[in-house]
Amino acid sequence: MAPMSSKVSQSKWRVWLNESKWLYIGLGFKRWLVLLFLGIGLVVIGWTLLLVDWLAPIQHPVLFPTLGVQLFDRNVRGVVIGAMGMALVVLSLARLSRTIVSAFAAPETSFVEALYRKRMRQQGPRIVALGGGTGLATLLRGLKEYTTQLTAVVTVADDGGSSGRLRREFGVLPPGDFRQCVAALAEAEPLMTLLLQYRFGHGAGLEGHAFGNLLIVAMSNITGSFESALRELSRVLAVRGRVLPSTLHPVTLCAEKQTPHLERVTGESAIPKRDGHIARVYLEPEDAPAYPEVVRAILEADLIIAGPGSLYTSVLPNLLVPDIQSALRASSAVKVYVCNIATQPGETDHFSVEDHIYALEQHIGTGIFTHVIANNNFDANLNTRISEWVKPRESASNGHTIIFADVVDQAQPWRHDPVKLAQVILRWYNEYSATMSHKI
């Protein structure tokens, strides 16, 4: 019993030490707390002086004559002292708020603004975004300013570069796309984001690896699983939302390309490099089970977004998981597909908006994504030697609602601007939801 009693005493002592840190010099906390109590005391005295006629006769404190305030009427003294107390209370609360918020908000952000933004994000829609690569990270970077109820579903079919090497050597899921999504959603300092994205330029065994990829693999070994590593990394970096794998099962993305004969291509990284038109893509094994948290998120979502990103190698690999397809059909959420701005060599050469939609439905069927967001700003300087603008054809949209908007990143016109894209999506979603609620 003695050792147990000693442990309890030590635990209480540690708790007391932590609580006593409020008394440390330099926190800027104690002075405003004392001022708050002083202000409350003056408010009480002021009200006492105003209500003395309704209370039993009391002897005025000696302090008042000393201050010379007995020269004034009792009600005047009550108002003056009460007003002074209220001023001190307001001042101390404002300073306390600034002191506390400074630990959590950016220096240039006011308490009211930080609180308002947080409350608005907490009340934002439940959004599930499916994809991978730079496209999904771009989308998340914009959406995180509008909601904390955000779930990113990331493809696990990547087999190229640093991710492919780590996947083959350690038997883990490819970490590259997860790293980009965590970095996009993190509230941590920009330096930490740069650290996650840092790529070694030389070094035996290190060249080509991103630091964030190595960190995720290391945390997988420490925590015992890839999903636990993502959860802990997200907690450390204060990620807004969740980053989840579409499946925990190792899958390989395969394609059939018309070259002109039908040729099978194995591996996500090999598909764009092989000449020919993609007839279809598929997973091996085709029946890989979805990660249960992903299915739950889809069924509970208000808004589901597929894309932007490489159509065949980033977006479709998630949608080819049978459980995810079933969940999408069962979900009552609004579903929208974000079409790419520019074509991608080896994947979507000469594709129009309608071609993207047709390829999507050819693989997952019709009736899931009935709304499409497409770019209508073609004024930027796009390198047409590599890719072309994705434009609509003049034919009918075949039952789809296409929302055209300027979503171009002027610095990189083949990519979406995260702020523009998020604003377009949320504005359209709010208008669509309001319209549907009026119809009910």
Q: pLDDT tens, 71-124?
A: 556 677 667 877 887 888 888 777 766 666 555 555 555 555 555 455 566 678
What contacts 94, CB < 8 A, 6 or more positions away?
none
Question: What is the average per-residue pLDDT within 324-334?
Answer: 97
On whether residue 16 sits in a domain, the answer given is: no
List of long-range contacts for 434-440, beta carbons under 8 Å, 24+ apart: none
Q: What is the pLDDT of residue 68?
A: 43
Domain boundary among the residues 239, 255, 287 is at 239
| Cα 248 from Cα 269, distance rounded (Å) | 20
Say if residue 137 is in the same domain as residue 190: no
Q: What is the pLDDT of residue 1?
A: 44
Q: What is the pLDDT of residue 192?
A: 75
On whether residue 168 sits in a domain, the answer given is: yes
Say if residue 141 is in the same domain as residue 289: yes
Min mean pLDDT across 37-41, 196-200, 351-355 is at 37-41
pTM of the model: 0.76
Q: What is the pLDDT of residue 59?
A: 53
Going by pLDDT thresholds of 50, 70 and 90, the confidence category of residue 413 is: very high
Better pLDDT: 129 or 94 = 129
Q: What is the pLDDT of residue 255?
A: 96
Say if residue 374 is in the same domain as residue 294: yes
| Cα 240 from Cα 235, distance rounded (Å) | 9
Min mean pLDDT across 81-95, 312-326, 352-366 is at 81-95
Q: What is the pLDDT of residue 41?
A: 79
| Cα 61 from Cα 11, distance rounded (Å) | 45
Question: What is the average per-residue pLDDT within 340-351?
Answer: 94
Q: What is the pLDDT of residue 387?
A: 86
Say if residue 407 is in the same domain as residue 374: yes
Going by pLDDT thresholds of 50, 70 and 90, the confidence category of residue 201 is: confident
Say if residue 34 is in the same domain as residue 172: no
Say if residue 346 is in the same domain as residue 232: no
Q: Residue 71 has which token pair?
A: 């020269």
Say if residue 50 is in the same domain as residue 182: no
Say if residue 433 is in the same domain as residue 325: yes
Q: What is the 3-state secondary structure (H, E, C) of 130-153?
A: EECHHHHHHHHHHHCCCCCCEEEE
- 167 and 216 in contact (C-beta within 8 Å)? no
- Which residue carries 């018309």 as its tokens? 258
Q: What is the pLDDT of residue 187?
A: 82
| Cα 213 from Cα 174, distance rounded (Å) | 8
| Cα 142 from Cα 346, distance rounded (Å) | 28
What contacts 77, CB < 8 A, 6 or more positions away?
46, 49, 64, 69, 70
Domain boundary among the residues 239, 270, 286 is at 239
On whether residue 2 sits in a domain, the answer given is: no
| Backbone phi and psi for residue 34, each to the nearest 5 degrees, phi listed first | -65, -40
On whether residue 23 sits in a domain, the answer given is: no
The count of structural domains within the chain is 3
Say if residue 213 is in the same domain as residue 276: no
Structural domain range at position 72: 28-101
Domain boundary among the residues 212, 239, 266 is at 239
Better pLDDT: 97 or 322 = 322
Return the bridge partners of 256, or none.
Answer: 264, 280
pLDDT in tens, 225-271: 999 999 999 998 889 999 999 999 999 999 999 888 889 999 999 99
Say if residue 149 is in the same domain as residue 166: no
Across 175-225, where does the E strand assignment appear?
none
On whether residue 348 sits in a domain, the answer given is: yes
Better pLDDT: 86 or 389 = 389
Instruction: Name the packing angle between helices 176-185 and 211-223 (round to 10°).
Output: 100
Is there a cis peptide before residue 285, judged by omega within 30 degrees of 0?
A: yes
pLDDT in tens, 150-189: 999 999 999 989 999 999 999 999 999 999 999 999 986 6
- 291 and 247 in contact (C-beta within 8 Å)? yes
Say if residue 142 is in the same domain as residue 220: no
Return the bridge partners of 231, or none.
Answer: none
Handedness of CA 22, 24, 25, 27 (dihedral sign): negative
pLDDT in tens, 286-308: 999 999 999 999 999 999 999 99
On whether residue 378 sits in a domain, the answer given is: yes
Helix (H, G, I), strand (E, B) or coil at 72: coil
What contacts 16, CB < 8 A, 6 or more positions away?
none
Q: What is the pLDDT of residue 39?
A: 78
Q: What is the mean pLDDT of the chain?
A: 84
What contacts 203, CB < 8 A, 6 or more positions away?
none
The DSSP call for residue 172 is P
Say if residue 297 is in the same domain as residue 357: yes
pLDDT in tens, 396-410: 556 789 999 999 999
Q: Cα 102–107–112 angle (5° rounding)?
A: 70
How many percent of the chain have pLDDT more than 90?
Answer: 56
Better pLDDT: 278 or 238 = 278
On whether residue 133 sits in a domain, the answer given is: yes
Q: What is the pLDDT of residue 66?
A: 44
Q: What is the pLDDT of residue 382?
A: 84
Q: What is the pLDDT of residue 343?
A: 95
Return the bridge partners of 424, or none.
Answer: none
How many percent of the chain have pLDDT more than 70?
Answer: 78
pLDDT in tens, 204-224: 888 889 999 999 999 999 999
Is there a cis peptide before residue 317, judged by omega within 30 degrees of 0?
A: no
| Cα 285 from Cα 358, distance rounded (Å) | 24
- 91 and 37 in contact (C-beta within 8 Å)? no
368: domain CATH number is 3.40.50.10680
On whether residue 119 sits in a domain, the answer given is: no
Helix (H, G, I), strand (E, B) or coil at 262: strand
Going by pLDDT thresholds of 50, 70 and 90, the confidence category of residue 431 is: very high
| Cα 314 from Cα 96, distance rounded (Å) | 48
